[in-house]
Amino acid sequence: MVLAGPRPRRVRVSSIVGVVVFSIVACRGPQPERADSRAASVYAAVIAALVGHPGGDEPPVVFVATRQEMKPISLEVQAAVVKDLADKVTVRFVDRVEEAIDEKAPGRPVTDGVLLRIGPVAATGDPVEVDVERYLDEATQQLVTLSASRATGTWAARVITSVPHPSGS
């Protein structure tokens, strides 16, 4: 069978269009992080910096609540944080801090692990600072400020300041 006329031209035109589209997409460079992805990555870095895996069979339990001045963390961000840290810690997001605290025990300790009341993540900027209230019991509370920055494509956080936090706050 012999191909006639315009068919080879159509193949050439579609090939050229494909190369042009690929070139445009490739030249755009890296895309900015989506807000949910950024928040999840920063929160995961902050939690990992505050609560490492001490070894043993079970990873530590970290209860996470938002600080009073902010709105709840979206379910998409929560799911991404849990997934990102699954091999390091067990993350449990709670709506109320009372869900993590044994109210009947002396000193009101966390039922199992640590409670982090985490502050908001700025929508832009690198590095970004995040304030966290770390609570083990009424006598053991700290206000911690961390700096998270994106190095080599992943977010990492380090503690900038850590001061005792008054009980009952």
What are all long-range contacts of 102-110, with beta carbons under 8 Å and residues at least 24 apart? 107/137, 107/138, 107/139, 108/137, 108/138, 109/136, 109/137, 110/63, 110/135, 110/136, 110/137
Task: Classify residue 54: in a domain, yes or no.
Answer: yes
Tell me the pLDDT tens digit for each residue of 48-83: 999 865 556 667 899 999 998 788 999 999 999 999
Say what the pLDDT of residue 29 is. 41
Average confidence (pLDDT) over 28-46? 78
Helix, strand or coil, per DSSP, at residue 37? helix
**ω before 109 within 30° of 0 (cis)?**
no
- Work out how many domains the chain is built from and give that number: 1
pLDDT at 7 over 80: no
Confidence of residue 91 (pLDDT cuts 50, 70, 90): very high
Task: Classify residue 2: in a domain, yes or no.
Answer: no
Tell me the pLDDT tens digit for each residue of 109-161: 888 889 999 999 998 999 999 999 999 988 989 999 999 999 888 999 999 99
Structural domain boundaries enclosing 90:
35-164
Task: Classify residue 109: in a domain, yes or no.
Answer: yes
Task: Classify residue 40: in a domain, yes or no.
Answer: yes
Q: Which of 62, 91, 60 is nearest to 78 (CA)?
A: 91
More confident residue, 111 or 46: 46
Task: Classify residue 158: in a domain, yes or no.
Answer: yes
Say what the pLDDT of residue 43 is. 97
* C-alpha–C-alpha distance, residues 132 and 155, integer Å: 17
Helix, strand or coil, per DSSP, at residue 147? strand
* C-alpha–C-alpha distance, residues 103 and 97, integer Å: 10
Bridge partners of 132?
118, 144
Task: Classify residue 83: in a domain, yes or no.
Answer: yes
Task: Classify residue 10: in a domain, yes or no.
Answer: no
Residue 76: CB partners within 8 Å, gap ≥ 6? 36, 40
Helix, strand or coil, per DSSP, at residue 122? coil
Task: Classify residue 30: in a domain, yes or no.
Answer: no
